[in-house]
Amino acid sequence: MVTIEDSIRIPPSKFNEPLEKIALEQLKMKYVGSIDEELGYLIAVTDVRVSPIGKIVPGDAATHHKVVFSLLTFLPKIQEVVEGEVVEVADFGAFIRIGPVDALLHISQIMDDFISYDEKQGMLMGKETKRKVSIGDKMRVRIIAVSLSKSSGFGKIGVTARQPFLGKIEWIEEDIKKARGELETKEKKEVKKGE
Q: Report domain extents, the chain.
A: 2-74, 81-184
pLDDT of residue 166: 92
pLDDT of residue 151: 62
Architecture (CATH level 2) of domain 81-184 = Beta Barrel (2.40)
Residues 142-156: tens digit of each pLDDT: 999 998 876 655 678
Per-residue pLDDT band at 15 (split at 50, 70, 90):
confident
Does the structure show a pLDDT above 60 at 1? Answer: yes
Does the structure show a pLDDT above 90 at 71? Answer: yes
Q: Record the pTM.
A: 0.74
Per-residue pLDDT band at 40 (split at 50, 70, 90):
confident
The answer to whether the Cα torsion of 145, 40, 148, 94 is positive or negative is: positive
pLDDT of residue 100: 87
CATH T-level topology, domain 2-74: Dna Ligase; domain 1 (3.30.1490)
Residues 78-104: tens digit of each pLDDT: 999 999 999 999 999 999 999 888 999
Strand 138-149 relative to strand 154-160, pairing: antiparallel
pLDDT of residue 185: 73
**Nearest alpha carbon to residue 163 among 72, 76, 103, 79:** 79
| Mean pLDDT score across all residues of the chain | 88
pLDDT of residue 36: 84
Could you check whether 2-74 and 81-184 share the same CATH topology? no
Q: Are 139 and 190 in contact (CB under 8 A)?
A: no
- What is the C-alpha separation between 190 and 129, in angstroms, rounded? 31
